[in-house]
Every structure is written in structure tokens, then in C-alpha cells.
Structure 1
Amino acid sequence: METKRTALLVIGAGPYGIATAAYAKYLGVPVTVVGKTLDFWKTNMPRGMFLRSGPDWHLDARDVATFQAYFKMRGLTPTQVKPVPLDMFLDYASWFMGQYDLTPRPALITHLARSNGTYTATHDDGSQIRADKVVLSLGFAWFKHYPSELENTLPVGSYMHTCDMVDFEFLRGKRVLIVGGRQSAFEWAALIQEKGADEIHVTHRHPTPRFTEPDWSWVQPMVRRTLEDHGWWRRSTSEEKEKIRSDFWAVGRLTLEAWLGPRVHQPHIHIHENTTIAATRTLADGTYEISLEDNTTVQVHHIILATGYAPNMHNVAFLDRTTILQELQTLNGSPMLDTEFQTNLSNLYVTGLAAVQDFGPFFGFTVGCPVAARIIGEAVSQCKLPGQRDTIKGELPRSSWARYMAGGRPASAS
């Protein structure tokens, strides 16, 4: 089977992938996108879900095919569509790709290997494509987080992550326990209740967040700061980073959308705050008896973990163990990236959630899409001779790359 070639291969057709591909294509880079378009959003998010963000968070690095431009095209105003339905964002993404004549190949990459400075990707149909440069837009699916304390307490096979439990019709008349206390936990609870579940329990080890209108206005300017100074986040002190994380946490985690409150405060939804699971017992009828540390006991048919996501590159099964993973420098599971989202492996870039360690928590949300797209697009569009990428912005020898990236990080980074 013939192996095709491309200058740039973008693996993953989620928001970060299509945003980067669109801008690179605009800059004249021959680009191929492989992945089912917004597949995670379509198959791992429930129908009836709403976005927390508004139309000011968009995909276009050029600020042209924005969400607001899409609204205007459809004759809508932001106040008419608040909150934004998931299906509307999917329609916007489709419209956005149409503006750039971008058509991802709806296939899966089963293997990516590196040899002699180029990358070879194998599709699920056995065909291959060779690329000079690769952008990994990995999204969330590879990084589901299962806290060890829950894995050690819950019976094997008794629980599912929120992203794997999005069809709520079969929960009609059932009792459900949701572990978690952020937006997804409560939105799943509301949707499951509205599908006719008999009883829903939500448990978390912290106070229940407030249902109020959050202020996201400060986030966009801070993300845009990365365009002016790609490395500002990594150079920030630990105290400065913690302050920003705390502010971001307060908006994104310690408050929940006001529109969700009335849907959650229902007779069949019971909230157990400041407690954890103490013990679990499987009953003869296949249900689970859950003992909470607040001395409450509940009996449920299903357990759902709304425990979020944590980047770990070693979970990405298609990455070749020898030529990529053994050489890839990581810290706490995340890739160590330079100021243009490039890994220590030349011409291999990582964007989205897996980049938050070096670029800040904003890049786990769509607000970072146009900024990451612009930085990566401009980096990959520069024509360089073979071997020219021996320095970072012409300042440091390649051998000093790890030390430069560490910036005081522990030497255990690998």
C-alpha cells in the first residue's frame, strides 16, 4: 500500500486540532488532519449538555471565523443563546471548518513512529502517511482520571467515568451515585434526573460549589498574553502560578452555572458534601451498598465518577514505545514543551490539555484554541533547513534543552 506524504500531520480533530490545522493551512502549510471531527464532543458528551463558555471563546487564530461571526451569520445574539447548547458549538465547529475548506480524514491512528527525522503514522485501515511535522491534539479521551483511593475502594467493574456514561435513557427508574463535585457531576445529575432516574446521590469531599454567574472576563486577556510572551507562564514564580490557578479554580470549579441550580435542587437529587466513600458492598441483586464517611448508606444500581482528566503521555497507546515514548521528556506525565509547544523530539508538537503544565490551566479549555493555533501554526510554517532546529530561538544549544525547560524543576523529569 502506497505511503502518502504531508508537510504537517495533525492527529486529532477536536477544537485544538482543527484550530491549528486551519491556521497552518492559511499560512500555506500542506496539512492533513486525521481523526473523527469532534468525536469526543459528539460521543462522550451527553445530548442536552450546555457549554459553560460564551461566544467570546472561539477557534480562529485570525479572529475572523469566530463564534460571534457564526452567531451573526445565523441572525442570533449572545443573549438569545445563553447558555450555549452543545449542538450549537458542534455546528459552529462545522461552519468554522467550512470557512477554511478543512476536511479531516475520519480515521484513527493506530501507530506513530519516528525515524530519520520524520514521522510515519499508520491508520486503522493499514494505510500510512509520512509527515515532516506532527501536532498531537490528544483531547481528553486518553487522560481519564481514576483516583487511586476510589480504585482501591470500589469493586472492579462497578463504575464508569462520566465521558463513558452519556446515554441516560437506560437509567430510567434506577438509582445512581455520582462521585465528584464540579460542573460535570451536577450537570450529569440534572440530565439523569430529567431522564427519569429514581434517585441520584452526589458525593464529594469538599463543600458544594455555589450556583452563581461566574466571571470569566479576566481569562481571555490572560490567555492572549501568551501571544506576546510565549514563556510567561513557565517563568512565573510558584506563588504567581498558584494565585492564577486559585483564581481559575474559583471561577471554574468553586462556582457552578446559575442556570444549573434549579435543575439540581430537585427532590430526587441528594447532595452529600464534605464526605468520601468509606466502604462498598455488592449485593445479591447486583446493586451496590455504599457507606459514606458521614454515616450515610445508599444503595444504587450504577456508580459514575466525575473525577476529571489528568495528562499522561504513556496512556497514549498509538505512540511508538521505542522511537517516541522512550525519548520523550515528561514531567508528572505531561510532555515538557518549548515555548512553541514543541517537545524535545524535533517537529513533534503537543497542544490542548496535555500542554497545561507549560502554558497554564487555560489550555485545558477552548479559550486557548486560537492562541495555541497561532503559535504552533507560525512555528511549523517557518522553512528550516535539515538540522537547523539545534537551538531554541537561537539562544541555547540543543544539549541544554532539558535544563532550559526544567527552570528549577526536579531532575527526575524523564
Structure 2
Amino acid sequence: MYDLVVVGAGPYGLSIAAHAAAAGLRLRVLGRPMASWRDHMPTGMFLKSEPWSSNLSDPTGDRTLSAYCASRGLPAEHGSPMSIGTFTDYGMWFAEQAVPEVEERTVTAVRPRGAGFLVGTREGESIPARTVALAVGVMPLVHVPRTLMGLPPDLASHSSHHNDLSRFKGRHVTVIGAGQAALETAALLSEEGATAQVVARAGRIAWNSTPQPLHRSLARSLRDPHCGLGTGWPSWVFAETPWAVRRLPAAARVRIASTALGPAGAWWLRERVESGVPVVLGHRLRTAAARGDGVRLEFTTADGSRRTVETEHVIAATGFTTDLARLQMLDPGLRAGLRRVAGGRGPQLNGRFESSHRGLFFAGLLAAPSFGPAMRFVYGAGFTAPHLVGGVRRRVGGPPRRR
């Protein structure tokens, strides 16, 4: 029986695996390495976070994004956006360097068995484990407005469903949303030769400001501190003290996880959008229906009137939902019995990311209602991995095994 099975091989899964391997735990790591980044983000996208705040976590702290870039003569500079391709390559390198083995298997079932679990895969294997860490990323949690759900995939999709936007060349595409995914997707569509527009219910587009220099006067640093999620004291608290966020009342945590660091475009994207993409604000989607080879969208405007938009394809850049019900791999009885954070649909976790079911741990977005918005970003892996693996070691007991 394995001490730990890690389900997922993105930044959180790989970071957990690196710490577990260093602790001598007997583990399996199942999933396609960096799958969301490799398969669900279009060529040409950039990281929104700074390179120094985009590290995966290993116990030595040596396998940073900067170290990877330095070894290959690539820039990793504060205030200079980094391509998703470079970050993806870094994640693959991290997996090779810090994780004993990542098995590209698809987990289809996690069931209780005795004092542990049985993890089933699409490939037909049943793996006994004392503990399981679910680091499944965001793809099981894709949120598409109910209005669009009845449309076929050739007419409507989610922004995470595309790694190549060139197929939309010469077509009219409407992107729904007001955050980075919507704005960057629309800019890339326009640059690929599509006629793209953004339609959002928000009354304005929020744009992040240009990053402040890392080295500033003490007074400026105290007034507006840097952190892994940007600058300012609220962001600093969310980024650097997730343990403190967890001590807040449940209702406050749910609100913070869903609203803090809300939709906004990166500073370096603004000119590309404003120079080439029409943005329509204050429009709430009411209905969507297939019409010939396209879609007819009906919106309610800010003044209460209605507006109809005809488009050939609609992309919902509407984010992800923190909802345990989306994890169909979890045994239904196990899933139903998990305690939720009051007022939310995410699992209630202790200080070491363990759920109410002994030995079952969660990482990433599903941990946000417990630990705050840092869990929505790569930066949160640095806090999650050592604390979660500490919880696993407590649960399995005994001295660590040496490989």
C-alpha cells in the first residue's frame, strides 16, 4: 500500500510530490504533467504573475523559475511578462528534477477502503493508498453560464477549451467576461485574424497597474508591500498568511475567496485590447440560441433595455467554480459526506489541508474557501506543499521511509 497517491500533476501536484518524495513517503503521482498549461492555453499567452512569484515548491528551494531560465539563458525579470510556453517548460523540467516519476494516467475513481483508499484509473489499475491528495487543477471546475450550456461545441465553448485560436481566423467571435482570460483571448483572436469583441456585465474593465520596482525606500515598502499576489497590505495578508485567513469566520473566507483579487487585465495587455478589440460593458446575458451557422445572443443592458448580438461563436471566459459536486471521480458516498465550508461548496479543511474524511487532502482552487485567494494562483503551492505533506506524514505515522 502506498503512503500517498497524488492526483494531478500541475504546479500543486508536482510541488506536493516533490515534498513527499523528499520526506521518504512511498507515493504515486498520477496525471499529465502541466496539462492545463500544455493543453488548455493558447500559444501566445503570458503569465500574469511575476516570475519570482511563479515558482513551484521543493524542499531545497533551488528549483525556481529563475534558476531554470538562467540555465537556458532566458530572461526572468520583474516587470517583464513571461510566456506560458516558458513556464510550461519549467514545470516539465521541475517534474524531471524533483519528482521520482509522474505517470500519465487518468484517475476515474477514489473510493474508501478500510482505513485508506482505492484509486482507480482509466487504464484499469486499482491502487491502494493510505492517503490521497487531490490536486486536480481547474479543468473539472470549469464554469459555463447555464444560458450557453445547450449550445453545441462548434458554437459555444469555454476559454480553457482552446490551445489554438487560429481556427477562428476570418470568423466573428464574442468573448463573455471581463478578466484576464477574456481580454487576452480576445486580443489573441484579433491578432489571429478573427473579428473579436468582448461583452461583459461589469460596468468597467479593471486594469492592473505597472509593477512597482522591487527595490524601493523603506517608507514606500511599508506603505505598499510587495507580495506574491501583487502589492498592498490586503494582498500581502492573502499571499503570505493563508493560515491567518483560515482562522476567519467561514462566511468571510468564502466572500474573500470569491471576490478578492477579482477580474482584471494585466498592465501589459491594455494597449493590445484598447487598440484592436471592441469592449461592450454593462450587458448581462439573457438567452442564447443557435441561428444557422452562428449564435444569437440576447443581453439586458445597464439601463434595462435589450440588445441582440449575432456572432459565429461565443467563448465564455467565465472562470471556474469551487464546487465539490464537480469531482465525479470521488465516490458518491464519500463526496456527499464531506463537510463543506459554511456558506460555500468547497471542502472544509484543517490547517494541513485534510478534509473531514481522514486521509483525504485537497490542494489548489478547492482549498481557496479555507485558505483564501492565494490558492487560486501558482504562488499558493509554496504554502500548500509542505503543510499538506506534513499532514500526510502525521496521518501515516512512523518514521519516514527512505527511497
Please report the TM-score for the alignment, with normalisation by the length of structure 1.
0.82
Corresponding position: 1:330 with 2:340: yes
Q: How does 1:124-163 map to 2 (within 5 A)?
A: 124-148=122-146, 150-151=147-148, 155=151, 158-163=155-160
Corresponding position: 1:184 with 2:191: no
User: Is the Cα–Cα contact under 8 Å of residues 65 and 96 in structure 1 kept in the other structure?
Assistant: yes
Q: How does 1:76-95 map to 2 (within 5 A)?
A: 76-79=74-77, 82-95=80-93
| Farther off after superposition, 96-105 or 355-364 | 96-105
User: Is the Cα–Cα contact under 8 Å of residues 342 and 349 in structure 1 kept in the other structure?
Assistant: yes
Cα offset, 1:329, TM superposition: 1.6
User: Is the Cα–Cα contact under 8 Å of residues 354 and 391 in structure 2 kept in the other structure?
Assistant: no
Cα distance change on mapping 1:286 and 1:66 into 2, 3 Å = same
| Aligned equivalent of 1:59, options 56, 59, 69 | 56
Task: Give the aligned partner of residue 412 of structure 1.
Answer: none
Alpha-carbon distance in structure 2 between the residues aligned to 1:95 and 1:81 = 24
Task: Give the aligned partner of residue 400 of structure 1.
Answer: none
| Aligned equivalent of 1:123, options 91, 96, 121 | 121
**Alpha-carbon displacement from aligned partner over 1:108-140 (angstroms, at most 9, x marks no partner):** 011111111111111111112111111000210
Task: Give the aligned partner of residue 345 of structure 1.
Answer: 357
Cα distance change on mapping 1:243 and 1:314 into 2, 3 Å = closer
Percent identity over the alignment is 26
User: Is the Cα–Cα contact under 8 Å of residues 4 and 133 in structure 2 kept in the other structure?
Assistant: yes
Cα offset, 1:261, TM superposition: 1.6
Task: Give the aligned partner of residue 389 of structure 1.
Answer: none
Task: Give the aligned partner of residue 226 of structure 2.
Answer: none
Code of the residue aligned with 2:293 in structure 1: it is G
Cα distance change on mapping 1:327 and 1:109 into 2, 3 Å = same
Cα distance change on mapping 1:238 and 1:8 into 2, 3 Å = closer
| Aligned equivalent of 1:273, options 281, 287, 296 | 281
Local SS of the residue matching 2:21: helix
**Alpha-carbon displacement from aligned partner over 1:276-308 (angstroms, at most 9, x marks no partner):** 23444533x322233333454432110110110
| Aligned equivalent of 2:168, options 145, 166, 171 | 171
Q: How does 1:333-412 map to 2 (within 5 A)?
A: 333-382=345-394
Alpha-carbon distance in structure 2 between the residues aligned to 1:311 and 1:359 = 13
User: Is the Cα–Cα contact under 8 Å of residues 6 and 13 in structure 2 kept in the other structure?
Assistant: yes
Alpha-carbon distance in structure 2 between the residues aligned to 1:242 and 1:325 = 20
Code of the residue aligned with 1:289 in structure 2: it is R
| Aligned equivalent of 2:241, options 200, 222, 225 | 225
User: Is the Cα–Cα contact under 8 Å of residues 223 and 371 in structure 1 kept in the other structure?
Assistant: no
Local SS of the residue matching 1:202: strand
Cα distance change on mapping 1:297 and 1:15 into 2, 3 Å = same
User: Is the Cα–Cα contact under 8 Å of residues 13 and 33 in structure 1 kept in the other structure?
Assistant: yes
Alpha-carbon distance in structure 1 between the residues aligned to 2:78 and 2:253 = 36
| Farther off after superposition, 334-343 or 290-299 | 290-299
Cα distance change on mapping 1:144 and 1:383 into 2, 3 Å = closer
| Aligned equivalent of 1:50, options 35, 42, 46 | 46
Cα offset, 1:238, TM superposition: 7.5
Code of the residue aligned with 1:341 in structure 2: it is F
User: Is the Cα–Cα contact under 8 Å of residues 132 and 347 in structure 1 kept in the other structure?
Assistant: yes
| Aligned equivalent of 2:299, options 292, 303, 307 | 292
Alpha-carbon distance in structure 2 between the residues aligned to 1:101 and 1:277 = 45
Task: Give the aligned partner of residue 262 of structure 1.
Answer: 271
**Alpha-carbon displacement from aligned partner over 1:340-382 (angstroms, at most 9, x marks no partner):** 1001111110010000001001101101001100101122223
Task: Give the aligned partner of residue 207 of structure 2.
Answer: 210
User: Is the Cα–Cα contact under 8 Å of residues 15 and 381 in structure 2 kept in the other structure?
Assistant: yes
Task: Give the aligned partner of residue 221 of structure 2.
Answer: none
Cα distance change on mapping 1:41 and 1:209 into 2, 3 Å = same
Unaligned 5+ runs, structure 2:
213-229, 399-403
| Aligned equivalent of 2:21, options 20, 25, 30 | 25
Cα offset, 1:263, TM superposition: 1.7
User: Is the Cα–Cα contact under 8 Å of residues 277 and 290 in structure 1 kept in the other structure?
Assistant: yes
Code of the residue aligned with 2:7 in structure 1: it is I
Please report the TM-score for the alignment, with normalisation by the length of structure 2.
0.84
User: Is the Cα–Cα contact under 8 Å of residues 210 and 256 in structure 1 kept in the other structure?
Assistant: yes
Code of the residue aligned with 1:275 in structure 2: it is H
Unaligned 5+ runs, structure 1:
387-414
Alpha-carbon distance in structure 1 between the residues aligned to 2:100 and 2:236 = 26
Task: Give the aligned partner of residue 317 of structure 1.
Answer: 328
User: Is the Cα–Cα contact under 8 Å of residues 214 and 256 in structure 1 kept in the other structure?
Assistant: no
Cα offset, 1:385, TM superposition: 5.5
Code of the residue aligned with 1:318 in structure 2: it is M
User: Is the Cα–Cα contact under 8 Å of residues 220 and 367 in structure 1 kept in the other structure?
Assistant: no
| Farther off after superposition, 90-99 or 375-384 | 375-384
Task: Give the aligned partner of residue 220 of structure 2.
Answer: none
| Aligned equivalent of 1:302, options 313, 328, 336 | 313
